[in-house]
Amino acid sequence: RRALYMTAAAEFIAPFLFGVAVATTVGKGLIAPHAITLNVVIAAVLAAVVWNLFTWLIGIPSSSSHALVGGLLGAAILAAGLGVVQIEGLLKIIISLLISPVLGLLAGFGFMQLMRLVFQNATRRISGAFKNAQVITALGLALSHGSNDAQKTMGIITLGLVTAGYQETFHVPLWVIAISAGAIALGTALGGWRLIRTLGGRIYKIRPEHAFSSQTASALVILGAALLGGPVST
Q: Find the angle CA(181)-CA(183)-CA(186) to the nearest 5 degrees.
A: 110
Query: Given this model, what pLDDT does residue 195 score?
Result: 77
Query: Given this model, what pLDDT does residue 225 score?
Result: 84
Query: Given this model, what pLDDT does residue 201 score?
Result: 77
Q: Work out whether the CA dihedral 79, 81, 82, 87 comes out positive or negative.
A: negative
pLDDT tens for the 234 residues of the chain, in order: 888 889 899 999 988 888 888 888 777 778 887 888 889 989 999 999 999 889 888 878 787 778 888 899 999 999 999 999 988 888 888 888 888 889 999 999 999 999 889 998 888 888 888 889 989 998 999 998 888 887 888 888 888 888 888 888 888 999 999 999 999 899 888 877 777 777 777 777 888 888 899 999 999 998 888 888 787 877
For 187, phi and psi rounded to 5 degrees?
A: -60, -40
